[in-house]
Chain A
């Protein structure tokens, strides 16, 4: 069983479209995260949820909206996609919130905006 799974693995779309990326973890963790890794391999946190509550919201455009229907799922919806949104998006989870807790990452979703 995959601990942290993301769908889709690849996403190619046109500028201006709206798309969603789904994430699920079966580890029973309380905390989930979204990261963005750009072409230069910088990995930056975007959001974090703890028990469905938003606890970290970095300086991310309002076009990005996370949603956590339950603590096992954290989806990322992106409106009006732009070229600069092209990146690999990683979902992660940890048992509890707090930077010192081991984070388990998903396989990533490679988003390409044309």
Chain B
């Protein structure tokens, strides 16, 4: 059972704001929502994490509605170097108590000049 659902891919022009949505209908009460970014031929890199409402850092903003069944990662004024796969993750509540990050397929974002 997939923990998160994201669009497979999206294109955006340089300089635009990019909003990437993620559905997590079965999110558990104690789950946080975490986003990672993966450039080609590199390992994933942590971007941002939140539990509810809005979180902002120097890279992105994360918007989480009250029901927490979805979230939106917002990248302000993207550049070509923001072309990457973006993963939305929640803990998968494994029975052994050691939660894992469940990486889905991710969302391939391509920034066009």
Residues of A bordering B, CB below 8 Å: 4, 35, 40-45, 48, 55-56, 58, 90, 92, 97-100, 102-108
Given contacts A43-B87, A55-B98, A90-B43, contact A100 B103 (CB under 8 A): no
B69 interface hit (Cβ, 8 Å) = no
Chain B contact residues: over half helix, strand or loop, or mixed? Answer: loop
Residues of A close to B34: CB separation below 8 A: 99-100
Q: Closest CB-CB distance, A1 to chain B, in whole Å?
A: 16
> How many residue pairs, one in A and one in B, have C-beta atoms under 8 Å apart?
55
A45 B105 Cβ-Cβ under 8 A: no
Residues of B bordering A, CB below 8 Å: 32, 34, 41-46, 49, 85, 87, 91-92, 94, 96, 98-101, 103, 105-106
Minimal Cβ-Cβ distance residue in B for A57? B96
Q: Give the residue among A44, A58, A92, A99 with the most B Cβ atoms within 10 A.
A: A99
B99 A108 Cβ-Cβ under 8 A: no
Cα distance, A98 to B30, chains bound together (Å): 12
- A45 contacts which of B32, B49, B85, B101 (Cβ < 8 Å)? B101
